[in-house]
Amino acid sequence: MGTRFEPKGRIGRFVHEFEETAIAVLLGLMTLLAFVNVVLRYAFNSSLIWSLEVILILFSWLVIFGVSYAFKITSHLGVDAVTNLLPDRGKRICALLAGAVTIAYAFLLLKGSWDYWAPFAALDRTSGQWFPTGWENTRDQAWYVTDQVPPLRWLFGWLEPLINQGEVYEKMPRVVPYFILPFGSALILFRVVQAVVAVARGTRSSLIVSHEAEDEVAEAAETLKRQGA
């Protein structure tokens, strides 16, 4: 516990920097947008009718994107009271079993995410209840737009001929915000597999931390010790 994640290599550092900045920017945008809406309403008696929906979209982006990052830096919460009683070998076996369950979860989440998102992108779902067994002819939902989000046609206009039979989107199509599901789930699966491999190699001890303030506590305890308190 308590060891901060250190990215390795140039690409590793770049990716790490990107992930951290993306998380900060998403949260910052949510906050500013909510704040601006209060100011607009209170001071100018007006509102951005799309702001609520956009804030909520950013919120789900923040979390679904961030889950994979949290797997990477081992900050998901878990219970280690029982596994800590075991000898090292037992701990490792438990961590590997827990890893297998987590991989299965991430895999099922990815299949579910694809099946959910695909119709909005005019793509086919997978067949099969547990495992994808092939493609299933799916009723297209690419026409489905968000409630209030402006279409940003300069950015997403290319979707119209591609999936919406050339019809103009008057609001942003749902395929855009929902894209975070397959994208985020794929990242989660990738990070979980990476973590389990590291456990198998012995470079990482588990997938979890026992409480949310683990980093801060470790640091504070260290400083206290240094001061001889």
Partner 1 sequence: ACDDGEIVVKFSHVTNTDRHPKGIAAALLAERVNAEMDGTMCMEIFPNSTLYTDEQVLEAMLQGDVQLAAPSLSLFEPITKVFQVFDLPFMFKDINAVDAYQSSEDGQALLDSMQRRGLQGLGFWHNGMKQMSASVPLELPTDANGLKFRVQPSDVLVAQMEAIGASPQPMAFAEVYGALQTGVVDGQENTWSNIHGQKFFEVQDGITETNHGIIDYLVVAPVDWLDSLDADVRDQFLTILNEVTEARNSESTRVNEEAKEQILAAGGVVRQLTPEQRAAWVEAMKPVWAQFAEGIGQDVIDAAASYSN
Partner 2 sequence: MEVVLLFVMIVGLLLLGVPIAVSLGFSSIVFLLAFSDTSLASIAQSFYQAMAGHYTLLAIPFFILASSFMSTGGVARRIIRFSIACVGHFRGGLAIAGVFACMMFAALSGSSPATVVAIGTIVIAAMKQAGYTKEFAAGVICNAGTLGILIPPSIVMVVYASATDVSVGRMFLAGVIPGLLAGFMLMVAIYIIAVKRNMPKGDFAGWAEVGASFRGAFWGLMLIAIIMLGIYGIPGVTGAIFTPTEAAAVASVYAFIVAMFVYRDIGPLAAKPAQSVGAAVAEGMDAPMGTPKSLLSHPQALITAFFHRDTRDTLLDAGKLTITLMFIIANALILKHVLTDEQIPQSIANAMLGAGLGPVTFLIMVNVILLIGGQFMEPSGLLVIVAPLVFPIAIELGIDPIHLGIIMVVNMEIGMITPPVGLNLFVTSGVAGMSMMAVVKAALPFLGVLFIFLIMVTYIPAISTWLPTLVMGPELIIK
One-letter identity of residue 226:
R
- Regarding 51 and contact with partner 1 (CB under 8 A), the answer is yes
Minimum CB distance to partner 2, residue 159 (Å) = 19
CA nearest to 204, candidates 94, 83, 87, 74: 74
Q: Which does 139 bind (CB under 5 to 8 A by kind): partner 2, partner 1, none?
A: partner 1
Q: Which of 33, 52, 198, 218 binds partner 1 (CB under 8 A)?
A: 52
The Cα–Cα gap between 84 and 87 comes to 8
- Regarding 148 and contact with partner 1 (CB under 8 A), the answer is yes
Nearer of residues 156 and 190 to partner 1, judged by Cβ:
156
Minimum CB distance to partner 1, residue 52 (Å) = 5
Q: Which does 46 bind (CB under 5 to 8 A by kind): partner 1, partner 2, none?
A: partner 1
Can you name the residues that pair with 197 across neighbouring β-strands?
A: none
Return residues touching partner 1 (CB under 8 A): 41, 45-47, 49, 51-53, 116, 119, 139, 141, 143-148, 171
